Structure 1
Amino acid sequence: MTASITDSQLFAPLFHSEAMQAVFNDEARVTAMLQAEAALARAQARLDIIPAQAGQQIDDAAREMRVDMPRLARDAGIVGYPVLGLVRQLSEAAGPSASGYVHWGATTQDIMDTGTVLQIREGLALIDRDLERVEQALAALAREHRETVMAGRTHLQHALPVTFGYKAAIWLDGVRRARTRLSEMQPRVLNAQLWGAAGTLASIEHNAEALTSAFAEELGLNAPQVPWHATRDGFAEAGCHLALMTGALGKIAFDIMIMCMDEIAELSEPFVKDRGASSTMPQKRNPISCEVIRGCNMGVKKAAALLMDAQEADFERATGPWHAEWIGLPQAFVLAHCAVSQAVFVLEGLEVFPQQMEKNLGLSQGLIVAESAMMALAKGMGRQEAHDVVYAACRDAQRDGISLHAALCANPAVTRHLSPEQLATVLSPASYLGMATTIVDRMTTSARAD
């Protein structure tokens, strides 16, 4: 039994990402810390801080050793951190001649933070890989439905005609911004941590500055100019940008869910037998993936808030906020990748029903292009008078159950400026799309260029 949905076998097919779980599970955390210890030994050997042979032995042991996880867990429970127990096992594996040089000059937080950064780097690469698929799927939908006219809706009511391609292009723009943010933040987040007990690296003496750079270089990370033991905005930024990303996906999911309603029925999630089924209503085909995306978004936002709270790190090492990161960061990454994976499934197989979009477009009998009529009449009678005339015609059409075209044609003040034939053209939804197709072209062209 588990108390965490991200570790639950029962909910694994929904609120779970096996790939991201493999980046943030216990084994991955230990591996990342061992990578940090090995890099430390290699860097110190390069700079003659420790003997070259000891550095090699520590490096070999860190790569090849089998960690006794139950023993490590017991040590972590007693000490409060896993590094001391890990250092003991690494020292044993490195052998008597090298054991005295393991973890030389470093502190627990150096190894844990650097290991976490390695996990973040791998997690971001995984998310970016699948975000690219989301981006490609949205670009394909935008191109395919560039001219598929549908009702644009504001306040959940018909507003003006748009195209479904335009809607997909707007979704695409949000996803691309999210992807850009995740890339742009990496120089601020992917920093090694090697500053010793209180952040001065006094234990290394005159070689300290060279060591921090060499350590970062060994791991392919950035070498920060100052320690960040107690300034945790990097991890908070990672959580916030993940929340912005899942927010972009949540907007898409919410739109799709509404468009899946029986009363609208313009879209449907990909069909998989029994997916979204009800235990009692055979007709049900619930938009489960969209629901999961929205749930993940809420979870990531809460995890991001926890990481922001952890910025209140006291003095040179936090007395509790640091521990909160251990809770929030893995949750943020696992749920974020779950949301991305579900979005890939939905968008690559999304079922689109243009005929239903056209049918819905005609429900208001032309009211959706009332602005078009107003702007056409404004050229002859001025905008405010045109607004009042069309407003009254809309009320007449709704009251009498007739089309806007019929209501306008019944008013001589209208027909003095526009003939019934001209009105028919003005009231054609396809003739009042503004920049919808231009926006599609802009987004899909730039998507291809990437």
Structure 2
Amino acid sequence: MGAHLSDSVIYGHLWSTPEIHRLFDDEGRIQAWLDILAALALAQSEVGLVPADAAKVIAEHSRVELLDLREVAAATRSTGHSTLGLIRCLRDVLPESGREWVYYGATVQDLSDTWTSLMMQKVAAIVDRDLERLVVATATLARTHRNTVMCGRTHGQPGLPITFGFKAAVWASELARHRMRLAQSRRRVEVVQLGGALGTMEFWGERSESLLVALAERLGLGVPDIAWITARDRVAEFLGVLAMATSTLAKIGQEVYTLQRPEIGELREPSEPGQVGSITMPHKRNPELSEHLVTLAKVVRSNAALAQEGMVHEHERDGRAWKTEWLVVPEACLLTGVSLALACRLLEGLEVDAQRMRANVEACDGYLGSESAMQALSERIGKHTAHEVLYETAAAGRQRGSGLRAALLADRRVTGRLSVEEIDRCLEPTAALRASGVFVDRVLSALDSVPGPERSPR
């Protein structure tokens, strides 16, 4: 049981996934820290700083099951230090040959920042995997509904006909760009931290550079050009990418949420047997997945903003900045993970009502064809004059309660330039869809031709 919702037995599924939660719970965090300490000892042994037998003993005993985490917690509180409690408890279980060599010359941020890099590496692989799945889902929707006509809406009002495939292609293209951003950022983000007291690595002397390389290689991380104790742009960049990705999912969720409204009725998110929308209104089928995507993205964006605040750092170490990351990085990763999982459920099971989409277009009584009619008339009388005529004609038709066809046929400024056949062609919904399919095809072609980014760049 835990105070944070991600730890809740009852509500945890809404705020985390087991896969990512295991990375950030106490056992996962401490084991990762122990792995780093083991790698540090072995790397120091490799460059001649630590005896080989001591490094081996440290590596063999760096297992979370050998520690009592309650004792670690008590020692952490009593020392008032972030990692000294862990080190004392680890030394207690180490043979004497390893006790003086564990955590040799390293400091808190060497351990915690390297852990942050490892977590960003692991989470990035999960995020990329699920983004790829979402790109496939949205591309499938775009391909399937390339010619499914629907109302395109601006400012919440019907504007022109588009296809649902066009809308889904926009989603697919945006999600694919997040994969690119993630891949491009990983070389900058996934780097080891090893600097000692102030980042200068003075403790290890002339073996500092070789130690840095050896540790990075053992952990599968990159080597920074200089310690990043005070340079928090890497963390801010990573959370920024998470914020952008979850914001796209929130946009998609918001669209499904709105188009599921019965008065529109064009989309429905999947619903499982036994799922209850309301305890007082049994008929309801609520867009639970869609609205939760919006909620999750709000919190991830706030976490990203706090990571930006961490870039404002004082001198050579500032706990006010990087300790904030201990809170916001895990939460942003947890919420991003569940956001991706929910979005996969939503988009892979999305119900598209093509008939209702067509019916909503026809319910607009031809007015979605106003641009096509204006374009045709522009060739005869000029674009701006044509706009004035169509504006006045449409306003008059709405005032009379007639459709746009009747309004156009009643206006001599129109019938004197366009035949009935030309007017009818303009008002056919597919007249405004000439380019929609072209752009859907462009997106699908681009997605097919670009290979997926590297999963674990170095």
Question: Is TM more than 0.5 here?
Answer: yes
Which residues of 2 match residues 66-77 of structure 1 at below 5 A? 66-77=66-77
Cα contact 1:235–1:307 (8 A) shared by 2: yes
Q: Which residue of 2 aligns with 1:208?
A: 208
Q: Which residue of 2 aligns with 1:159?
A: 159
In structure 1, C-alpha distance between the alignment counterparts of 2:408 and 2:433, rounded to whole Å: 21
In structure 2, C-alpha distance between the alignment counterparts of 1:339 and 1:275, rounded to whole Å: 19
In structure 2, C-alpha distance between the alignment counterparts of 1:195 and 1:109, rounded to whole Å: 8
Cα contact 2:33–2:115 (8 A) shared by 1: yes
In structure 1, C-alpha distance between the alignment counterparts of 2:325 and 2:64, rounded to whole Å: 29
Q: Which residue of 1 aligns with 2:333?
A: 333
Q: Quote the offset at 1:87 in angstroms.
A: 2.0
In structure 2, C-alpha distance between the alignment counterparts of 1:434 and 1:155, rounded to whole Å: 23
Cα contact 1:275–1:288 (8 A) shared by 2: no
Aligned alpha-carbon RMSD (Å): 1.5
Cα contact 2:163–2:436 (8 A) shared by 1: yes
Q: Which residue of 1 aligns with 2:192?
A: 192
Q: Quote the offset at 1:82 in angstroms.
A: 4.1
SS at the partner of 1:320? helix
SS at the partner of 2:286? coil
Aligned pair count reads 450
Q: Quote the offset at 1:312 in angstroms.
A: 2.4
Q: 1:155 to 1:276 in 2, by over 3 A?
A: farther
Q: Which residue of 2 aligns with 1:347?
A: 347
Q: 1:81 to 1:235 in 2, by over 3 A?
A: farther
In structure 2, C-alpha distance between the alignment counterparts of 1:104 and 1:192, rounded to whole Å: 16
Range moving further from structure 2, 406-415 or 282-291? 406-415
Is residue 2:434 matched to residue 1:426?
no
Cα contact 2:303–2:329 (8 A) shared by 1: yes
In structure 2, C-alpha distance between the alignment counterparts of 1:53 and 1:433, rounded to whole Å: 73
Q: 1:58 to 1:133 in 2, by over 3 A?
A: same
SS at the partner of 2:113? helix
In structure 2, C-alpha distance between the alignment counterparts of 1:136 and 1:334, rounded to whole Å: 23
Cα contact 1:187–1:222 (8 A) shared by 2: yes
Is residue 2:20 matched to residue 1:11?
no
Q: Which residue of 1 aligns with 2:128?
A: 128
Range moving further from structure 2, 270-279 or 339-348? 270-279
Q: Which residue of 1 aligns with 2:307?
A: 307
Cα contact 1:169–1:440 (8 A) shared by 2: yes
Which residues of 2 match residues 432-447 of structure 1 at below 5 A? 432-447=432-447
In structure 2, C-alpha distance between the alignment counterparts of 1:354 and 1:72, rounded to whole Å: 59
Q: Quote the offset at 1:276 in angstroms.
A: 5.1
Q: Quote the offset at 1:16 in angstroms.
A: 2.4
SS at the partner of 1:151? strand
Please tell me the residue identity of whatever aligns with 1:335: L
Q: Quote the offset at 1:65 in angstroms.
A: 5.5
Q: Which residue of 2 aligns with 1:295?
A: 295
Is residue 2:336 matched to residue 1:316?
no
Is residue 2:380 matched to residue 1:409?
no
Which residues of 2 match residues 255-294 of structure 1 at below 5 A? 255-275=255-275, 277-294=277-294
Q: 1:236 to 1:276 in 2, by over 3 A?
A: farther
In structure 2, C-alpha distance between the alignment counterparts of 1:119 and 1:182, rounded to whole Å: 14
Q: 1:381 to 1:276 in 2, by over 3 A?
A: farther
In structure 1, C-alpha distance between the alignment counterparts of 2:12 and 2:94, rounded to whole Å: 38
Please tell me the residue identity of whatever aligns with 1:107: T
Q: Quote the offset at 1:74 in angstroms.
A: 1.1
Please tell me the residue identity of whatever aligns with 1:407: A
Q: Deviations over 1:402-424 (max 9, x none)?
A: 22111111222222222111211
SS at the partner of 1:16? coil
Q: Quote the offset at 1:264 in angstroms.
A: 0.3
Is residue 2:228 matched to residue 1:239?
no
In structure 2, C-alpha distance between the alignment counterparts of 1:406 and 1:37, rounded to whole Å: 79
Q: Quote the offset at 1:321 in angstroms.
A: 2.0
> Taking structure 1 as the reference length, what is the TM-score of the superposition?
0.97
Q: Deviations over 1:82-121 (max 9, x none)?
A: 4222222333333111222111111121011111211121
Q: Which residue of 2 aligns with 1:144?
A: 144
Q: 1:145 to 1:81 in 2, by over 3 A?
A: farther
Q: Which residue of 1 aligns with 2:47?
A: 47
In structure 2, C-alpha distance between the alignment counterparts of 1:79 and 1:360, rounded to whole Å: 67
Q: Quote the offset at 1:348 in angstroms.
A: 0.3
In structure 1, C-alpha distance between the alignment counterparts of 2:396 and 2:205, rounded to whole Å: 87
Cα contact 1:15–1:292 (8 A) shared by 2: no
Range moving further from structure 2, 299-308 or 79-88? 79-88
Q: 1:65 to 1:98 in 2, by over 3 A?
A: farther
In structure 2, C-alpha distance between the alignment counterparts of 1:226 and 1:159, rounded to whole Å: 54
Q: Quote the offset at 1:41 in angstroms.
A: 1.1
Cα contact 2:160–2:368 (8 A) shared by 1: yes
Q: Which residue of 2 aligns with 1:110?
A: 110
